[in-house]
Amino acid sequence: MLWPFTSSRCTAVALVSAWRCVQQRITTAASYSTRAQLLLHSQASSVSVPSRTASTDRLLSIRPVSWHPSRLCQGDSRSASDRESTEGGLSLRALTQAPKPALYLGVSGLVPFVSAPLLMAASQSFIPEVAYAQVVYGACIVSFLGGARWGFAIPAGSPAQPDWMNLGNSVVPSLLAWLALLCRDNIAEGALVVLMGLGLSLHYDLTLLPGYPAWFKAMRTVLTLVATFSLVATLTIKKFCTEKKIKEIRN
């Protein structure tokens, strides 16, 4: 009869001992977590205090800087003008900054180039005298561009030094112009030499020789393209139209 009582008593003792073990583990885990939190808090405080001190010292060491408004405006305007004159990119908007004498004279200088193919197209014939006059004028322009580059490199303080490269490149267009004038019997070859001189001069002005303003580079590009197209139009008329001299047209 004592068997059920004894078994129930043993069960109660086992439950009590298990509960005590659970309580001990919970207490131990709580103490570990509390220690870990204290340790992390102490490390954070030890790290944050110097950083706050350093940031405070930096704030105290900053000194106000005063700039005059006129100085800022002058710096901005100067950088903008320098950017417009020194950038490699080519923009036709720079033509609005061109001086009127240079722009008007440059555009009027295209009249001999454009009038020659227009006159031959109106007569529906290739006129060798008119074509040669166009080649001669183109040779003069090519020689003029070389002389302008020479004159740009000579003055003191110019960004282009009077060295072998700048002065030698200035002489090349004049030599090409002289070769074009020698091609009197073959106008097509003379026109090709002039085209070569125009392209080489434009290459010199845009890439090799520094210091030219943006408006001059834009104007040189437009004028060279129009002159090139007029010479190409003359060569096209020579190929597809019959050749007639001025005396034949008059008669």
Q: Where are the domains of the chain?
A: 1-58, 92-250
Rounded to whole angstroms, the Cα distance separating 144 from 223 reads 14
Q: What is the reported pLDDT for 213?
A: 87
Instruction: Mention every residue, 6+ apart, whose C-beta is less than 8 A from residue 164.
Output: none
Q: What is the reported pLDDT for 22?
A: 53
Q: What rounded mean pLDDT belongs to the chain?
A: 76
Average pLDDT over residues 121-140: 95
State which fold the 92-250 domain adopts. Butyryl-CoA Dehydrogenase, subunit A; domain 3 (1.20.140)
Rounded to whole angstroms, the Cα distance separating 9 from 69 reads 96
Residue type for 149, please? R
Share in percent of the chain as helix, strand, coil (round to 5): 80, 0, 20
Q: What is the reported pLDDT for 52?
A: 46
Q: What are 143-188's pLDDT values in tens digits?
A: 999 998 888 888 888 888 888 888 888 899 999 999 999 998 999 9
Q: What are 17-35's pLDDT values in tens digits?
A: 655 655 565 555 555 555 5
Contacts 24+ apart (CB under 8 A), 157-162: 158/211, 159/210, 159/211, 160/209, 160/210, 160/211
Q: What is the reported pLDDT for 175?
A: 95
